[in-house]
Amino acid sequence: MTEPKSDALIVFTPSGRRGRFALGTPVLQAARALGVDIDSVCGGRAICGRCQVTVSEGEFAKHAIVSRASHITPATRGEEHYAEKRALKPGRRLSCQALIEGDVVVDVPSESQVHKQVVRKRPDTRPIAMDPASRLYYVEVDEPDMHHPSSDLERLYRALETQWQVTGVTTDLAIMQTLQKALRQGEWKVTVAIHHRLATGGKRVTAIWPGFHDRAYGLAVDIGSTTIAAHLTNLSTGEVTASAGLMNPQIRFGEDLMSRVSYVMMNPGGDREMTAVVREAINTLAHEVADEAGIEISDILEVVAVGNPIMHHLFLGIDPTELGGAPFALATGLAVTRPAREFDLEVNPGAYVYLLPCIAGHVGADAAGMVLSESPHLSDDIMLLVDVGTNAEIILGNRDRLLACSSPTGPAFEGAQISCGQRAAPGAIDRVRIDAQTLEPRFKVIGCDLWSDEPGFEEAIAQSGVTGICGSGIIEAIAEMYLAGIVNQDGQVDGAMGKVSPRVRPHQRTFSYVLRDGEPLISVTQNDVRAIQLAKAALYAGARLLMDRLGVTSVDKIRLAGAFGSHIDVKYAMVLGLIPDCRLDRVHSAGNAAGTGARIALVNMAARDEIEQVVRRIEKVETAVEPKFQQHFVEAMAFPHKTATFPELAKTVRLPAAKSVETATADGGERRRRRRG
Binding site for its own copies (CB under 8 A): 143-154, 170-171, 173, 176-177, 179-181, 198-202, 204, 316-319, 322, 326-334, 336, 338, 342, 358, 360-361, 620, 622, 624-625
| Peptide bond just before 327 cis, omega within 30 deg | yes
Read off the amino acid at residue 612: E
Comparing CB distances to its own copies, the nearer of 170 and 438 is 170
Distance of CA 442 to the CA centre of its chain: 34
CB of 179: closest distance to its own copies in angstroms? Answer: 5
Alpha-carbon span 217 to 234, nearest angstrom: 5
Q: In this structure, how many other beta carbons lie within 10 angstroms of the beta carbon of residue 416?
A: 16
C-beta of 361 vs 397, nearer to its own copies: 361
Least separation in angstroms between residue 537's CB and its own copies is 22
3-state secondary structure of 127: coil
Asked if residue 268 lies in contact with residue 262, where contact means CB atoms within 8 angstroms, the answer is no
Contact 275, 314 (CB under 8 A): yes
> Which of 25, 348 has the CB closer to its own copies?
348
Which residue lies nearer to its own copies by CB, 145 or 449? 145
Helical (H) or strand (E) element with 478? helix 471-483
Q: Which residues fall within 8 angstroms of residue 230, CB to CB, at 6 or more apart?
A: 219, 220, 221, 222, 243, 244, 245, 282, 285, 286, 288, 289
Q: For 102-126, b where at least 16 C-beta lie within 10 A, e where not — what string? A: bbbbbbbeeebbeebebebeeeebe
SS (H, E, C) 163-193: HHCCCCEEECHHHHHHHHHHHHHCCCEEEEE
Residue 178 or 489: the one with the smaller Cβ distance to its own copies is: 178
| 402-407/117-118 β-pairing | unpaired
CB of 174 to its own copies, least distance (A): 8
Helix (H), strand (E) at residue 44 = none
Q: How far is the CB of 181 from its own copies (least distance, A)?
A: 8
Q: How far is the CB of 134 from its own copies (least distance, A)?
A: 16
Q: Which residues contact 498 (CB under 8 A, 6 or more apart)?
A: 504, 505, 506, 511
Phi and psi, residue 510, nearest 5°: -125, -155
Least distance CB 329 / its own copies (angstroms): 4
What is d(CA 369, CA 118) in angstroms, rounded to the nearest whole number? 17
Closer of 331 and 658 to its own copies (Cβ): 331
For its own copies, the closer of residues 204 and 642 by Cβ is 204
Q: Provide the minimum distance between the beta carbon of 335 and its own copies in the complex, in angstroms, as a whole number.
A: 10
**Of 111 and 143, CB closest to its own copies:** 143
Cβ(65)–Cβ(58) below 8 Å? yes
Nearer to its own copies by Cβ, of 110 and 180: the residue is: 180
CB 201, min distance to its own copies, A: 6
Are 131 and 114 spatial neighbours (Cβ–Cβ below 8 Å)?
Answer: yes
- The residue type of 542 is G
Residues, the chain: 677
Contact predicate 478/531, CB 8 Å: no
Output 342 or 440, the one with its CB closest to its own copies: 342
Minimum CB–partner distance for residue 163 and its own copies (Å): 19
Least distance (Å) between residue 172 CB and its own copies: 8
Query: Least distance (Å) from its own copies to the CB of residue 206?
Result: 13
CB of 198 to its own copies, least distance (A): 6
Note whether 348 and 339 are within 8 A (CB). Answer: no
Kindly report the three-state secondary structure assignment for every residue of 528-554.
HHHHHHHHHHHHHHHHHHHHHHHCCCC
Smallest separation, CB 580 to its own copies (Å): 24
User: Would you say 435 or 622 has its CB closer to its own copies?
Assistant: 622
Rounded to an integer, what distance in angstroms lies between the CA atom of residue 445 and that of residue 247?
A: 21
Q: How far is CA 219 from CA 120, 156, 253, 562, in A?
A: 18, 28, 26, 19
- Per-residue burial over 202-238, b if 16 or more Cβ lie within 10 Å, else e, is ebbbbbbbbebbbbbbbbbbbbbbbebbbbbbbbbeb
> At closest approach, how far in Å is the CB of 319 from its own copies?
6
Q: How far is the CB of 316 from its own copies (least distance, A)?
A: 6
- Coil, strand or helix at 588: strand
Given the DSSP bridges, would you call strands 352-355 and 300-307 parallel, antiparallel or unpaired?
parallel
